[in-house]
């Protein structure tokens, strides 16, 4: 079992994360902490395999705690779970050794992806003194396989990425026909990708009535954050 320390200031979020964690096999929630200082006290007397860490906390914040953990060379990994979505916070977390970064709010699928991938990677390192390139590649390949499960049947991850890249070029509402023309695949196929993004609350579909002619349905990007969609690529 992977032993977990959950560090989260918000009591509601703490219960939410604990509920999700209990649904993932192979993990044991050993302790919970509400502050960075409390987490350090626990780390001084107990051993954990993984810390699920929020950033915004009173006193020592999550990034400061992560830095201390690395300076102390503790043999554990950290996954950040935070509402911070700016580049500076994310880069700092990753550069200080966070193995994953989950942006709040998130669904169980994204949480499960992070923990299932981490669990699989931990198995690769277990009981091995040396690794081959194929061993290391398994961690990447496995994440791709798990991500495939998150994308509805009939949709392709690479095509989804292409559709999103073309949407990102636009700074206005758009029709199915426009994206179909930009990507070069049929309107029927494009609509499936757009409807998937709509289900993820990345796009909305609105009826536009012009001065003349029939009404037209147009999609609108309501969440331009790359992290909301890139987990499915």
Q: What per-residue confidence (pLDDT) applies to 117?
A: 85
Q: What per-residue confidence (pLDDT) applies to 231?
A: 66
Q: Where are the domains of the chain?
A: 2-150, 157-230
**CA–CA separation, 223 vs 232, rounded Å?**
15
Q: What per-residue confidence (pLDDT) applies to 85?
A: 87
**What's the pLDDT tens digit per position in 188-197?**
999 999 998 9
Provide the mean pLDDT of the chain. 87
- pLDDT tops 90 at residue 145: no
**What's the pLDDT tens digit per position in 9-41?**
999 999 999 999 998 889 999 999 999 999 999
- How much of the chain exceeds pLDDT 70, in percent? 88
Q: What per-residue confidence (pLDDT) applies to 116?
A: 86
User: What's the pLDDT band for 140 if we cut at 50, 70, 90?
Assistant: low
User: What's the pLDDT band for 139 if we cut at 50, 70, 90?
Assistant: low
**What's the pLDDT tens digit per position in 146-171?**
555 567 778 888 899 999 999 999 98
Mean pLDDT of 106-121: 86
**CA–CA separation, 30 vs 39, rounded Å?**
12
- pLDDT tops 90 at residue 210: no
**Phi-psi sector, 201: left (phi>0), alpha (psi -120 to 50), beta:** left
Q: What per-residue confidence (pLDDT) applies to 153?
A: 78
Residues 92-128 as b/e (b if ≥16 CB within 10 A, e otherwise) read: bbeebebebbbbbebeeebbbbbbbbbbbbeeeeeee
CATH class entry, domain 2-150: alpha beta
Domain 157-230 grouped into CATH 3.40.50.300:
no
Strands 216-221 and 203-208: antiparallel
């Amino acid at each position: 079992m992977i032993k977990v320390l959950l560090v989260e200031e918000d009591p509601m979020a703490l219960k939410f994360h604990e509920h999700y964690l209990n649904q993932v096999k192979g993990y044991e929630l050993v302790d919970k902490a509400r502050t960075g200082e409390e987490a350090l006290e626990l780390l001084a007397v107990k051993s954990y395999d993984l810390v699920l860490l929020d950033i915004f906390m009173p006193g020592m914040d999550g990034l400061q705690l992560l830095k201390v953990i690395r300076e102390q060379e503790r043999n554990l990994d950290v996954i950040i779970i935070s509402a911070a979505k700016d580049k500076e916070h994310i880069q700092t977390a990753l550069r200080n050794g966070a193995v994953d970064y989950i942006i709040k709010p998130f669904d169980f699928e994204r949480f499960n992806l992070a923990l299932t991938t981490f669990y699989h990677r931990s198995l690769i390192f277990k009981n091995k003194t040396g690794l081959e390139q194929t061993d290391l590649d398994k961690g990447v390949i496995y994440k791709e396989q798990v991500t495939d499960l998150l994308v509805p049947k009939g949709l392709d991850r690479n095509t989804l990425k292409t559709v999103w890249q073309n949407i990102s070029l636009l700074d206005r509402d758009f029709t199915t026909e426009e994206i179909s023309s930009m990507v070069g695949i049929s309107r029927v196929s494009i609509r499936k990708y757009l409807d998937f993004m709509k289900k993820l609350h990345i796009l909305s579909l609105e009826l536009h009535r012009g001065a003349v002619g029939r009404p037209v349905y147009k999609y609108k990007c309501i969440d331009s954050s790359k992290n909301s969609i890139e987990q499915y690529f």
